[in-house]
Amino acid sequence: MARKPLRPAHHEGRQLNGSDAKRGAGGACPQGRLDALLAEIRACVICRDHPRGAPLPHAPRPVVRAKASARIAICGQAPGVRVHASGVPFTDPSGVRLRAWLGMDEAEFYDEARVTIVPMGFCFPGLTPDGADRPPRRECAPAWRDRLFSELSGVELLFAVGRPAQLWHLGSEAGATLTATVEGWRRALGRAGRPVVAPLPHPSWRNNAWLRRNPWFEAEVLPVYRVLARAALESDFTRSMDEFRRAGTIAA
């Protein structure tokens, strides 16, 4: 069945204005609404009780970090077995590489007030017979993603880490493949609306061969992503984007 909607509301440039934010669901403040939603997510058992296909092979343990004040969203695939155990995202070699790619230290990366970490599937999906992580559960994004991002209207920069996040957050503007989508990074950054979506491959060692085949990614793309991440962390994102537009680095 086709996923619907393909593009969440924040891609239409819709932002909560001050009165919207104050009104909110039941009159709660933005963080109060977000906390209530996170509590719902952490109690979710959809993939156990109402799965699409085989049920989750273990008890759900959603791993998601979000504060209403966040300026950066890291949107990966799903927790692996180590993160399933720790409950903290990217506590693995992929996290070490991702932080290096984005020029963030651990304190910044795990500063929920500035960085939200919302994978496409919140629970570890289990392993394939040959020991690889299964893809994110199909149930998760349609159940939660639009609601979650409607409470994260301050996010300026969204890193779409891997194909599932790129398809969800870029919709029909994603390329035909992951490589084509990442190659289109200048166009992706230049799209109208917020958040700005920055596509990148998953930092897993499984992508080492991809990185060797595509040296332009580390040479050309990551330096720009690092500048934008730093600017978003330091509340200087709009000026930084304007500078890149004027320089022709990203699409005007």
Q: Give CA–CA dist 93/138, Å, rounded.
A: 25
Using CB under 6 A as the binding rule, whether residue 60 contacts ligand SF4 is answered as yes
Count of residues touching ligand SF4 (by CB under 6 A): 14
Q: Is 93 helix (H, G, I), strand (E, B) or coil?
A: helix
Q: Give CA–CA dist 143/240, Å, rounded.
A: 34
Give bridge partners of residue 14 from the DSSP assignment: none
Q: Which stretch binds ligand SF4 (CB under 6 A): 7-15, 135-143, 166-174, 233-241?
A: 135-143
Query: Which of 120/155 has CB closer to ligand SF4?
Result: 120
Count Cα atoms within 13 angstroms, Cβ side, for 152.
Answer: 33
Q: Give CA–CA dist 36/34, Å, rounded.
A: 5
Annotate 103-119 with DSSP letters as a single string.
T--HHHHT-TTTEEE--
Q: Which stretch binds ligand SF4 (CB under 6 A): 139-147, 192-200, 216-224, 236-244?
A: 139-147
- To ligand SF4, the closest distance from the beta carbon of 139 in angstroms equals 4
Q: Which stretch binds ligand SF4 (CB under 6 A): 5-13, 66-74, 97-105, 118-126?
A: 118-126
Query: Which of 136/201 has CB closer to ligand SF4?
Result: 136
Question: Which residues, numbered 18-47, are part of the site for ligand SF4 (CB under 6 A)?
Answer: 41, 44-47
Question: Which residues, numbered 214-233, are part of the site for ligand SF4 (CB under 6 A)?
Answer: none
Residue 47 DSSP code: H
Quick one: residue 154, left, alpha or beta (phi over 0 = left, psi -120 to 50 = alpha)?
Answer: alpha
Query: Which of 47/222 has CB closer to ligand SF4?
Result: 47
- To ligand SF4, the closest distance from the beta carbon of 154 in angstroms equals 23
Query: Which of 44/227 has CB closer to ligand SF4?
Result: 44
Query: Which of 73/157 has CB closer to ligand SF4?
Result: 73
Query: Which of 62/164 has CB closer to ligand SF4?
Result: 62
| Token pair belonging to 166 | 């790129």
Nearest to 10 by CA among 152, 107, 201: 152
Quick one: residue 235, left, alpha or beta (phi over 0 = left, psi -120 to 50 = alpha)?
Answer: left
- To ligand SF4, the closest distance from the beta carbon of 227 in angstroms equals 33
- To ligand SF4, the closest distance from the beta carbon of 247 in angstroms equals 40
Query: Which of 41/158 has CB closer to ligand SF4?
Result: 41
Residues whose CB falls within 8 Å of the CB of residue 98, separated by 6 or more in sequence, listed in order:
74, 90, 161, 203
- To ligand SF4, the closest distance from the beta carbon of 163 in angstroms equals 17
**Interaction site with ligand SF4 (CB under 6 A):** 41, 44-47, 60, 62, 121-123, 137, 139-140, 143
